Each structure stands twice: as structure tokens, then as C-alpha cells.
Amino acid sequence: MNEQAIHPEISNAHQELEYIAEFLGRSNARAFVEYNPILVTHKNIFVVTSSHVAKKRIAYPVVFAQNSFVSIEKANTPISSLDETEIYSLCIEELGKFASYAKKILERKGIELSKITTRRWQAIEDDSWKQCILELTLHSDSQTALCIWDELSEELDRFINIESEDLQPLLRQRLTLDVSWS
Amino acid sequence: MSVFNPEDYWQISLKLVNQQPSDADYRTAANRAYYACHLLGCERGIIERTNSARDHSKLWEELRRRGMFWANKLEVLYRIREHADYHINSEDRDNVGCSYCKISAESMWGNAKAITEDILPRIKSMKKKDIKTPK
């Protein structure tokens, strides 16, 4: 394994990585990269161990192959290197998490949710304005819906605040909430 | 020198839908309702206006940044306005995700009216600052 390929930040995991690289071999790692080109394109690093995935930021692409019996997840990729498709996926994933939370709030308040969707939107007049929208349709009157809309909007802000600092500006810009009633 | 009060647009909206309104009346009413809110927000000096399309998102972002989370409603009003102004055929591919293409113009107006009635007083109550000159 080429030690130069490992960023100093992940030196703690060095021994495990050496083992994995030796076990899988560089060619397997390369094959994995070819099978998942996005991993290289966007400079992700996957640090795979038998028990956990170490998330570390790295300055250049190093990808280790995935063993069939170990877990793998996306490393902490710099937000600036994400393309629009990845940003969209990330935002939808975050909205999904928030949606579960929003459902619980509505349940607690005894408000019936008749429809929940997520969608992407881009302004016709300003193509830089792009949003990922959580759309909630409530079985309620307009006053109740407008009131809970304020509350959930505030909750969405709190939800964003507990995300990592480098993610917050993006989420703040992209995530929004649309509440309607029927 | 005359100063136009953007809130007058809201009165126009209400007049338009007062008697046997057509779809065009509902759409125009939604458009004017949005601009009453948007221009009043801008007039309060919340953002430094550029007089470009970017001002719409800037106002929304700035209100949220200042903890006025009801700004999401203004953003939805913008989307209603966009639907009202641009979406002619609900079956157009570009309009597939638009929830307002799936409901009548009257219902769309119902949403716009409820949102405007909710946020317009809040915008009006914001403290007026010195209006920034557009660059």
C-alpha cells in the first residue's frame, strides 16, 4: 500500500487500512472505483474497517474497496465539491429525516396529515434559486395549518442548526417547507 | 415626488376576485398579492435591492436569517405567483411537480389569500429602516 496516498488526518486508522488494502489488493480497489466512478469524481474517501467507518476529510481521492461483510458510508466530502445531483440527494435525505420529526410533532398535536411529499424546485426567473421542498398537506382548517407552519418552520431551522457547520449554509439555502390544508 | 404604497396591490387583488372572477382574475390577484408582500418587504429595507430577479430569494433568505421563519410562506406565495404567471398547461412536463397545477384557480387563490392575510400584517409591522439605494 502506498503510504503517500494516506492523508495524515487518517493516520490513526493506518494499520487497519494497510490490512484492508493488503487483503483486497490495489486492483480490487481500482475495480471498485471504476464500478462507482462518482466516488473518484467527487473526491470521496471511504475508510472501511470491520466495525466502523471512519469519516475523515481528505484533500485528494483515495478509495478503498468494500468488503461484502463490512458497512460503508459516504465520507465527509467537502460541500463545495458536490455537484447538483449530489446536493439534491443530500437535501432530500435531510428532508426525509426532518419529515419523520415533523410527523411526530403533528401526531402529538392531533393534526392529521393527509399527504407528505418532497420535491425539487427551481425558479423560472432566477435559475440560481433552487429548493428542496417538504410539502405537507394537513387535514385541517387554514388557521391551524398556518399556525403549525410557523412552528414547523422554526423546527426546521433548529434541525439545520444541529447539522455540521459546513452543511448548514447549504441546508439553510435549500430546505424549505410548504404546508397546505384540505 | 410620489411614493406608491405596495399594499394597494393587495386591494387590487381583492377587487379582482370580488365579482364572478375568471381564472385570469384569480391568477392576477395571486400575482398582485405576492407583489404587495414582496415590495412592502423590500420597502422596509430588509435587503439591499438589486432590482433583479435575485431580490425575491434574497428577501426570503434575509427574513429567515433574522429569525422570521414565516418567510417560508412568502416563498410559497412566490411559487403561487410563478404558477399564476407562467403555468399555462398543467400537463407540460415542466409543470409536473407544481401542486397548483393540480387544483383550480379558485383554490390556488384561496391559498394565496390565506397566506397574504397571514404575512402582510407581519411585514407591515416590521420596523422601517433607511431604504438602501440599489446599486
Give the E-state strand segments of A48-129 in sequence order: 62-63, 112-122
A42-59: pLDDT as tens digits: 333 443 333 223 333 332
Q: Which of B56, B60, B75, B106 to mutate to test the interface with A (most CBs of A within 10 A)?
A: B75
Q: Report ipTM for this prediction.
A: 0.89
Cα–Cα distance between A14 and B106 in angstroms, integer? Answer: 64
A91-101: pLDDT as tens digits: 988 899 899 99
**How many CB pairs lie under 8 A apart between chains A and B?**
59
Question: Are B53 and A126 within 8 A, CB to CB?
Answer: yes
Cα–Cα distance between A124 and B86 in angstroms, integer? Answer: 9
Q: Which residues contact A80 (CB under 8 A, 6 or more apart)?
A: none
Check if the beta carbon of residue B72 is closer than 8 Å to that of residue A178: yes
Rounded to the nearest angstrom, the minimum Cα separation between A54 and chain B is 33
pLDDT (tens, 9 = 90+) of chain B, 135 residues, equals 788 999 999 999 999 999 999 999 999 999 999 999 999 999 888 888 898 999 999 999 999 999 999 999 999 999 999 999 999 988 887 788 899 999 999 999 999 999 999 999 999 998 765 444 444
Cα–Cα distance between A41 and A123 in angstroms, integer? Answer: 28
Helical segments of chain B, H only:
7-16, 23-43, 54-65, 71-86, 105-125
Partner-chain residue, chosen from A142, A153, A156, that has the shortest CB–CB distance to B70: A153
| Per-residue pLDDT at A85 | 84
Task: Enumerate the domain spans of chain B.
Answer: 7-129
Residues from chain A that touch B83, judged by Cβ atoms under 8 A, are none
Q: How many CB atoms are closer than 10 A to CB A81? A: 11
Cα–Cα distance between B124 and B108 in angstroms, integer? Answer: 24
**CA-CA distances (angstroms) from residue B83 to A107, A143, B96?**
31, 23, 12
Place of cell 398579492: B33
Q: Which residue in chain A has the smallest CA separation from B103?
A: A182
pTM tops 0.80: no
Residues from chain A that touch B111, judged by Cβ atoms under 8 A, are 180
A140-166: pLDDT as tens digits: 999 999 999 999 999 999 999 887 777
Q: Which residue in chain A has the smallest CA separation from B97?
A: A119
| Per-residue pLDDT at A53 | 31
